[in-house]
Every structure is written in C-alpha cells, then in structure tokens.
A and B are shown apart, each in its own frame.
Chain A
Amino acid sequence: MAIHTPIDTVRTPVPGGPPPGTGAARRLRRRNTLAGWSFILPNFIGFAALTLVPVVAALALAFMEWNSYSTPEWVGLDNFRRMVGSETFWTALYNTTYYALGHIPLTLVAALGFAVLLNRALRGVRFFRTALFFPYITALVAVAVVWNMLFNPDAGPVNQLLRAIGVDNPPGWTTSTTWAMPAVIITSVWRDMGYYMVLYLAGLQTIPAELYEAARTDGASAWQRFRHITVPSLRPTTFFVLIMLTISSFKVFDLIQVMTEGGPGRATLVLSQLIFREGITQGRFGYSSAIAMVLFVVVLVITVVQFQLQRRGER
C-alpha cells in the first residue's frame, strides 16, 4: 500500500522552482518528502516503541500464558474463559462503570457550572479560577492522602461537619463498602473539574456577545439564554470534554490505588487495578492482557458511540 503524505500530493510548483514533470522537480519532491519524514520520524518512533508495540504485544499476550520469564504458551481463549467465569472480573467491571457514571456527569456539570460562574468580570475572578485549577496540578498522592484524612470516619472534618448539621450517623466513607466509591468519585471530581472548567472557559469566549444581547432584547431569561445559547454553542467543547472524561474514567488507577487500594474488600476494585494485580503482582501477564483488551474494547465502543451521536447531532 502506498503511503501518501501531504507533501506527496502537492503539485503546485514552488515559485522560482523547476517546472513540474522535470527531473529537478522530482528531486525537489523527494527532498521535500524526506524532510517531512524527518520531522515525523522521531515522534513516530516514540509512539511505535512506547505505544504501538506494547499494544500489539498485549493483544497477542491475551491469547497466551506468560509470567514474563518463561516462554509464552499459546492458550487460545482460555484467558477470556477464565475472565468470564471470574466474579472478581465482573466486580471490577461493575465498579469501573459505577465510577465512570459518577465521575463523568458530575465533573462535566461542575466544570460547566464554575466556568459560567467565572466567565464574567467579577472582583477576584482570577483568584477563583486559579484556586479551582490548583487541585489539577497538585500531586495526586497528596490529594489522595489529604482526602483520606478529611474522610476519616471518626475525626475527619467531613463527618464533623455532617454531625454539626445534625447528621447523627455519618458515612464511614473509605471504610464502608457503600461509601468508598462515592468518596473516590467526590475526590476525583474535585481534582479534575478545574481542568475541564478551563476548557469550558475557552469555549465560552468564542460565543458572540451579540447572541446574548439579542436574546436579552427579546426578553429571554438567564436560564433560557443558558439553555438555548450557551449549551448549543458549547457543543464541540462538551464533546471533547466528554471524550476525555470517558477515557480517563475508564482507566482510573492511581487515585484509587492510593486512597483505597481497591478496598474495603473489593468495593473500589476497578479494571485497571485488576490488570495491574494480575499482571505485575501475580505474574499472569496473559490473563492481565486479556482484561486490558476488554477495557480497550469497552472504551473504544463508548467513544465510537459518542462520535456517532455527535455526528447525528450536527446534522
């Protein structure tokens, strides 16, 4: 299969260059092609070595049994059969979905809400924008440790506050199978919303002020302006935010690893943790790769569906 680069397709003669079709023109085109590849190659080598090869290797490993030392052994669909019969896998898949269904909408709503709120000339608006963005650039381990302390069931400020406002039996948070996942979701929303707020702020800047002025003249309320101007105008930004949030939610690992290590019990065990546990800890790289493939397919399907919905919405 021939590879066409944008440079190949350029047929327009360079001003002052040789006439098209001559040997000199062909040499120039070859040099241009080489120049193009020389710019692409370093990036492509990095991508191939660090992403493409491991992904292809993982796909192959999903059908093998391998402990990273011995020779890989072809086992066909055994890893997938094992996965389907494993209660732990289904628990991890459920928890991953639970996390995503909590994290995606809450982050999106919080980010959009704060962006709309801080997209006006208020005193101290820059301070608030920075304050909201700050958690995103804070070390994740620090975030997890601090929130663990805040969520401490006995002496943590969260439960102290709840008791102060009359909640007699506040949740056990990370020490409760019911509340551990909500605690993780709250922490991750708090951490991520600043970043997505900045994206929304950028999107809001692109909406022409005339639209709001015209709507105001027609007597539209603030809610109507938000619903009929802001939300539709932000559709491309929302789509991007949704895609990014979906991908990051399904592969969440570090926050949960530090906050709960998947516990208590298996209450916050997610697929990426199971991949790590089965591969790195237990040395079942084949089985671990099979789970990774499932995670990949889940994320791919959801992303493709989102793209389709977006296209349909644009028509």
Chain B
Amino acid sequence: MNRHTGRMNRHLGRVLAAATAALVLVTAGCGGGDEPAVGDDGREILTIALWNYDSTPEFAALIDGFEAAHPDIDVQPVDILADDYAEKVTTMLAGGDQTDVLTMKNVTDYSRYALRGQLASVADEAADLDQSKYLSLEPFNLDGDYFALPYRQDFWVLYHNKALLADTGADLTSLTWAEYADLAKQLTTGSGQDTVYGTYHHTWRSIIHSTAAAQSGGDLIGGEYGFLKDRYEMVLDLQDAGATMPWATASTQKVQYHTMFSTGQAAMLPMGTWYAARLIEEKKAGSIDVDWGIAPLPQVTEGGPVTTFGSPTAFAVNNKARNSDAARAFVAWAAGPDGAAAIASIGVYPAYSDETITETYFGVDGMTNDEVAQAAFQPDEVVLEMPVSEKSSDVDVILTEEHELIMIGERAVDDGIAEMGKRVTSEVD
C-alpha cells in the first residue's frame, strides 16, 4: 500500500463513519416513541393546541386550575395564531402530530376531524357528565359517539359602547334588525380617519348567514338560501350609508374587531359572548377604557322569542396523543364543574351551568350585569352556528366564496344566493 492509498483509506473511513453517524441521527430523529413525555421535574407533560394564549385568558385559567388539581401533570400550551388555527391544526393532524389535546374552535372543524378518525372517542367521559346541567353536548353526538366535550358555550349578543349610545334613548332589550340599522346610521359621525361607525360587522360570514339561519329557520347546508336575502340587503345598505366599515376594507386591512370596538371607532358590535372576558381583563389592566355593555342580538320581528346562534368550544383528545390518559383527564375536568368555575370566574360562559356558576359569572369584577345584560344572557333559543355534517366543510368553502363576492359588490344579492344554491347542489356529494 503506498502513501496515497493509505491516506485515501483513512479519509474514506472517516467519510463513511460520518455518513453512518448522520444516518443514525436522522433515523433516531424520525422515531417518535410512544411513551408519555416526562419533564425534568418528573411530571408528565400534557400538550394542548390552543390559540392566542396571551389574549385568551380562559386557557390560562383552565391550565392553572387543572395543574393545581393534578400536580403530577405539567400542561404545556401549543400556541397558534387564532386566524390560522384551523388550518394549522388540520396540517398538524395530517402530518401525524402527537399533541395530546386539541381545542375545537367550532363544530365544523370538529366534525371534519372526528369523521376522519383523527379524534379519540370520549364517550365514557361524556357519560359521566350531569347532562341536566350541561349545555350544548348534543351537537357533538356523532352516531351515538362523542369525540370532544365542550367547556364553553358561546352565543351571539350585541356589544355596545354606553357612552356613544347614551343620548339615543334606544331600548336595546328588544331591537329589531330594522331598528338596529336605523340606530347604526344615527350613531355614525365624522369622516375619513375620524369616522365613528354606528356598528362594525366583522368579516366572518356567520354574522349574516348564521343569524339569518337561526332566526328564519334556514338550513345552511340544504342548498336553499333565500332566507339570507333580507340580512344581506340590510348589511349592504349599512355599508353604502357608511354606517359600518366596508367589508373590502376590513378584509384587506385585516381589521381587528377588538380594535374597532375598544377604541370607540364603532358604537355597536355583534359578537360572541367570549369577547366579554377580554374586555374585562384589558379594562382591569388599564389598556382600554371603553364603557361597554351587552344587549340581546337584534331580532327579525319585535316581541317574539329571542333567538341567537352559538357555537360551543370544546376539547378533544388526539387519536395519536402521547399522553392519552392525562388528555382525557383534562378534557373531562375542563368540561365539568371545576373547569366551569375556573372560566366563569374570569367572565367566560361555561358549557356546564348551575346557580353557583351563574352567580360567579355575573359577580365577576368588571362584568356588565345590568338588566339589558341579564336579558342578553337569557336567550330563548340558541341555534348551532352550522349543522354538523359530512357536508359542512365543503359547503362552508362555497358559501364563503360567494359571500365574498356579494360583500364586495361583484355579485347581486339574488344572483349570489342563486349561485350558492347551485354550487352546493352540484359540487357537494
């Protein structure tokens, strides 16, 4: 062997050793391991996918409460931007992610994940709940099985800025949509950057679609959407009158409803009950100064039953969870009386409710609890935002696309409604 060959062999040996080491590292990195994760302190690690942890106080309340009750478990939030939550979780699940608990932001996503087999059954935990005190469990029933348990029950109400509405003398306990529109126009002042809008409609189609479906008995996945016409005409009229920010501006500027309402740029805001907790917290911290109130959602006609729409928020156990037992314990705890007490104490309306919980909720420091607010929290009927079905997700895409075209004025209301029906009928299996 000459010197050249010897050097070559040594070099080759090093290269092969390095390549083997790299391969082993890559292979080891790919392997997940199914053992529950345990932290340095010996506690089991439980991961929970959730959104905007810092500005959604209920998550901290639930996690702190659960950890206090289960000192052997360390709950670690997997924080995701609220706007990207559904997309991110869908991608995570498709990639075999092992995050233990998944928050179900709405029932459309829930049905999608559950019907794909991505969630573990929690039927046993559901059976342990006292259903007489439990709201909104039924939408999670999929052929007799349950794959998530709601911990929060939201429904839509009308937030209002008391200072801006002070001189109107409006009776907010029984507004019709027509009166609401008149009030919004009356409250609009200023121009350009100084405009104070009478109301603000966020870009979600549910503001139109789900309110109309709930209050007119319409079916959002049925393919017949004539019941949307009146509501579209009202909202577009408010846009034309300048009494609400145009949809196109709100969409392209990615306007935050919280900014519009808390800084006094909008006098009214139809929104879910979840928003109260953020207002309470930020007002307590001194970061906002709005004098806010809650009223029932306006109705089609005056004097009838108050109907609104809502969407429960739930926790589910990932079918591939690394720590399935701890995940089940968390889901059951959050949905039960202890979880309800934890979130009611910060102004979030829980799925489980009894007299004590209601008392806690209205007794929260900073909670609006006048007669109008009390009325808002006692609607006669809360209809689900979107029916749970295999079709929900596909229908949602079509309705959203056509909704955009109507809102930017590219399609007349009648044409848009007709197109929704045509596409849902022809494109959804």
Contact = CB atoms under 8 A, between A and B. Distances in A.
A31 interface: yes
Interface stretch (B43-51, B324-332, B346-354, B393-401): B393-401
A175 B427 contact: no
B94 A177 contact: no
A172 to B, nearest CB: 7
A238 interface: no
Contacts, number: 99
Contacts of A149: 252-253
A86 B427 CA distance: 7
B410 A176 contact: yes
Contacts of B117: 67, 69-70
A17 to B, nearest CB: 8
Contact of B22 (A42, A154, A265): A42
A151 interface: yes
Contact of A265 (B87, B254, B319, B402): B402
A14 interface: yes
A310 interface: no
B264 interface: no
A46 to B, nearest CB: 9
B123 interface: no
A271 to B, nearest CB: 16
Contact of B4 (A16, A68, A152): A16
Name the residue in A35, A148, A283 with the highest tally of chain B Cβ atoms < 10 Å from its Cβ.
A283
A39 B15 contact: yes
A148 B12 contact: no
B285 to A, nearest CB: 28
Contacts of A17: 2, 4-5
A263 B408 CA distance: 11
B427 A88 contact: yes
A219 to B, nearest CB: 54
A279 B2 contact: no
Interface in A213-272: 263-266
A282 interface: yes
B4 A176 contact: no
A38 B93 CA distance: 36
A87 B87 CA distance: 24
A279 B15 contact: no
Interface stretch (B59-67, B218-226, B243-251): B243-251
Contacts of B112: 282-283
A263 B15 CA distance: 52
A177 B409 CA distance: 10
Interface in A149-171: 149, 151-155
B87 A35 contact: no
A283 B19 contact: no
A174 interface: yes
A26 interface: no
Contacts of B19: 38, 41-42
A12 interface: no
Given A152-B252, A263-B404, A282-B394, A34 B12 contact: yes
Contacts of A31: 5, 8-9, 12
A86 B112 CA distance: 22
Given A14-B4, A152-B249, A153-B249, A35 B15 contact: yes
A74 to B, nearest CB: 19
Interface string A60-99: 0000000111100000000000000011100000000000
A281 interface: yes
A156 B248 CA distance: 12
Contacts of A211: none
Contacts of B87: 280-281
Name the residue in A16, A148, A279, A281 with the highest tally of chain B Cβ atoms < 10 Å from its Cβ.
A281
Interface string B1-24: 010110011011001100100110
A45 interface: yes
Contacts of A35: 8, 11-12, 15
A87 B401 contact: no
A17 B3 CA distance: 10
A48 interface: no
B5 A67 contact: no
A28 interface: yes
Given A31-B12, A280-B94, A282-B393, A265 B405 contact: yes
Contacts of B23: 45
A68 B116 contact: yes
B76 to A, nearest CB: 25
Contacts of B410: 176-177, 264-265
Interface string A191-227: 0000000000000000000000000000000000000
B118 A69 contact: yes
Interface string B120-140: 000000000000000000000
A38 B404 contact: no
Contacts of A266: 401
A126 interface: no
B251 A175 contact: yes
Given A69-B117, A152-B252, 16 more contacts: A17-B2, A28-B5, A38-B16, A67-B116, A70-B117, A86-B427, A145-B254, A151-B252, A152-B253, A172-B248, A175-B408, A177-B410, A263-B404, A265-B404, A265-B411, A281-B90
The 6 closest A-B pairs by CB, nearest first: A175-B248, A69-B117, A265-B405, A264-B404, A38-B15, A265-B401
